[in-house]
With several copies, the nearest count.
Chain A
Amino acid sequence: MDLRNKKIDEGVFMASRGEVLAQWPTGSRVDLQEAVDFHKSLPESKIFSRKLADAKKHRKTLIQPRAGVALLQDHIKLLTFLQDHGEADLLPTTIDSYTRQNRYKEAENGIEESVRQSKSMLNGFPAVNHGVDGCRSIIQSLDVPVQVRHGTPDARLLTEITYAGGYTSYEGGGISYNIPYAKSVSLESTIRDWQYVDRLTGLYEEMGISINREPFGPLTGTLVPPSISHAVAIIESLLAAEQGVRNITVGYGQCGNLIQDVAAIRSLEEMTEEYLKVYGYDDVVVTTVLHQWMGGFPQDEAKAFGVISWGSVVGALAGATKIIVKTPHEAMGVPTMEANAQGLRCTKQVISMLADQPLNNAQVTAEKEIIKAETKCILDKCFELGEGDIAVGAVAAFQTGVLDIPFAPSRFNAGKLLPARDNDGAIRILTPGAVPFSKELLDFNAAKIEERAKSEKRAASFQMVIDDVYAIGKGRLVGRP
């Protein structure tokens, strides 16, 4: 069947639905109408889209951790702790890596091993294995909205089960959960599988349940220039809206330069709203999420707190709707619940202190213009390649390197583009690959990198990129020699 950015036909959807639900025994428990009734029984305070829309209206910045362990009771305990002692406004259920690869058998082993060793042997919560009722007991145990966070190329069954389980928000997208999270899964198939997810979200929406969807903004989390992640976020928003999604949170991973980060969050919100409107989706509520630094972290906890705080500052000054919070254990491993709560409380302190201090200046405005122009170059080319169809265009864009995500593991990613920081620490493009920037923008990027190379008295090269990858972990922003 052809890939198109068109609402999936109901017959087609229902047919594949049967297959999806049969992928693992817990699928048989899913019943759409019963699930909608469960959602309707939830109090407002547990509904993600409500809390986000409200935060946007009152210019509040909410905080949310990542967290997930193998066993149900432990997972509930963990989330309760983060709610009560971490002051989390929103909660997650981070899914384990076997589930993300649809390896439910290995996830089952992981659960059994975890019981045997009385510690979590999985890096997340295997929601498919725990099933609909397992999920509902999580939702019921907590006071705040909960989201599924993962990195699953084919997430159809996971979506079915967690939506029926009462989750009110769902991360991911056909590009953002493929290119950074898979090695050899084709883009056509993930975009199609995520159209399924979005269509299911649309069905709930049509039945009165607005589930929030969040494209995964940071991608590889490693030196991704804002225009690239913006282009992906906007494409996934358009794809989602077409399937009937009406509440979208677009995301961005902090790059570390204040001006670029504030400009990025602001331009992301503006552009996403614009594009949705232009393409006829008028009634979508768009909110933003800033991810605290997603690349390599310093091992020292005190330094990690510094990185966490810097992300919090940026989120608050930019006015992001929510912040995804890192922990002082980031460089070491999945955090203990205490470490996770510490990251949250640190973040809460910073954003509360900055709540009334938005940053506006000419530098931010100028940087916003750059980001918008770059993003537009990429999106224009995508539409062109797709002859007006953005699903087709996205696939072609990756084939041709028009979209090229630095450090991505996928073999469907060109991997020709290289980013590096400029002399102020903003992320620019060192080797453009096939990125379709105007000559002016290419020259701008080149000049910025050249400025740094001069100040460091060395030629720009891959060594500069490597130095930048290590920099924050070593306590700097720019990887100077």
Chain B
Amino acid sequence: MDQKKIVIGVIGADVHAVGNKILYHAFTQAGFHVINLGVMVSQEEYISAAIEADADAIVVSSLYGHGELDCRGMREKCDESGLKGILLYVGGNIVVGKQPFEDVEKRFKAMGFDRVFGPGTPPETTIDALKEDLGVAE
């Protein structure tokens, strides 16, 4: 089995680094090849990293509440840059405040994210989803 490549990072002006460091560790342990852009990543940076590495998925974290503003247009930008159909996840505390997760999920799916995860999602959940979506056998 060849190693799947995923690009991770925290979008926008967001500096929450702890979860990112832990996700890097967990994804690597789980057998993925991880390109970690760290915090404060712009849409453009994710996209060029994904192109450069020929990545299978982009995993966007947003913790600080501006996720909704920061993630707009990301799918379109992927499409324009030749990353049509690339797997796009978003997770963390992606909106401002405590909101019903169903509404939030709907809004981010409408923006073109394949999967949307709520606050405190454990790494195992993300890993299972990635394996499923990328067809990695257990």
Measured CB to CB, the residues of A under 8 A from B are 96-98, 100-101, 103, 106, 109-110, 113, 119-123, 151, 180-183, 220, 222, 295-296, 299, 329, 331-336, 339, 407-409, 462, 466, 469, 473
Q: Which residues of B contact A97 (CB under 8 A)?
A: 12-14, 64-66
Q: Which residues of B contact A123 (CB under 8 A)?
A: 64-66, 96
Q: Which residues of B contact A299 (CB under 8 A)?
A: 119-120
Q: Which residues of A contact B38 (CB under 8 A)?
A: 183, 409
Instruction: State how many angstroms separate the Cβ of A224 from the closest Cβ of chain B.
Output: 11
**How many Å lie between the Cα of A100 and that of B14 in the bound state?**
10
A333 to B95, Cβ gap below 8 A?
Answer: yes
Question: Contacts A183-B38, A332-B93, A334-B96 hold; do A409 and B69 have CB atoms under 8 A apart?
Answer: no
- How many B residues, CB 8 Å from partner? 26
**How many Å lie between the Cα of A85 and that of B68 in the bound state?**
31
A119-B96, A123-B65, A183-B40 given; name 13 further pairs at CB < 8 Å. Answer: A98-B66, A103-B13, A110-B66, A119-B97, A123-B64, A151-B15, A180-B15, A329-B98, A333-B65, A407-B21, A408-B17, A409-B15, A409-B40
Q: Which residues of A contact B119 (CB under 8 A)?
A: 299, 331-333
B13 to A98, Cβ gap below 8 A?
Answer: yes
A100 to B13, Cβ gap below 8 A?
Answer: yes
Question: Contacts A183-B39, A299-B119 hold; do A101 and B18 have CB atoms under 8 A apart?
Answer: no
Contact of A333 among B12, B21, B22, B96 (CB under 8 A): B96
B65 to A466, Cβ gap below 8 A?
Answer: no
Q: Which residues of A contact B98 (CB under 8 A)?
A: 329, 332-333, 335-336, 339
Q: Which residues of A contact B96 (CB under 8 A)?
A: 119-123, 333-334
Most chain B beta-carbon neighbours within 10 Å: one of A123, A220, A339: A123
CB of B106 within 8 A of chain A? no
Contact of B120 among A98, A222, A473 (CB under 8 A): A473
Contact of A334 among B17, B18, B65, B120 (CB under 8 A): B65
Instruction: State how many angstroms separate the Cβ of B25 from the closest Cβ of chain A.
Output: 7
Residue of A nearest to B98 (CB): A332
Q: Which residues of A contact B120 (CB under 8 A)?
A: 296, 299, 331, 473
Q: Which residues of A contact B16 (CB under 8 A)?
A: 409
Could you tell me the dominant secondary structure of chain B's interface residues? loop
Measured CB to CB, the residues of B under 8 A from A are 12-18, 21-22, 25, 38-40, 64-66, 68-69, 93, 95-99, 119-120
Question: Contacts A123-B64, A334-B97 hold; do A407 and B17 have CB atoms under 8 A apart?
Answer: yes
Q: Which residues of A contact B15 (CB under 8 A)?
A: 151, 180-183, 409
**How many Å lie between the Cα of A120 and that of B65 in the bound state?**
10
A-B contact pairs, 29 of them (CB 8 A): A96-B66, A97-B13, A97-B64, A97-B65, A98-B66, A106-B13, A120-B97, A121-B96, A123-B64, A295-B18, A296-B18, A296-B120, A299-B119, A329-B98, A332-B119, A333-B98, A333-B119, A334-B65, A334-B96, A334-B97, A335-B97, A335-B98, A407-B18, A409-B16, A409-B38, A409-B39, A466-B22, A469-B22, A473-B120
Instruction: State how many angstroms separate the Cβ of A425 from the closest Cβ of chain B.
Output: 19
Question: Contacts A332-B119, A336-B98 hold; do A220 and B17 have CB atoms under 8 A apart?
Answer: yes
**How many Å lie between the Cα of A349 and that of B97 in the bound state?**
23
Most chain B beta-carbon neighbours within 10 Å: one of A96, A122, A299, A333: A333
**How many Å lie between the Cα of A151 and that of B65 in the bound state?**
15
**How many Å lie between the Cα of A462 and that of B21 in the bound state?**
12
**How many Å lie between the Cα of A329 and that of B97 in the bound state?**
8
Residue of B nearest to A223 (CB): B18
**How many Å lie between the Cα of A336 and that of B66 in the bound state?**
16
What 10 A-B pairs have minimum CB-CB distances, sorted nearest first? Answer: A123-B65, A409-B17, A332-B98, A333-B97, A409-B39, A101-B13, A183-B40, A97-B13, A409-B15, A334-B97
Instruction: State how many angstroms separate the Cβ of B60 from the closest Cβ of chain A.
Output: 16
Residue of B nearest to A123 (CB): B65
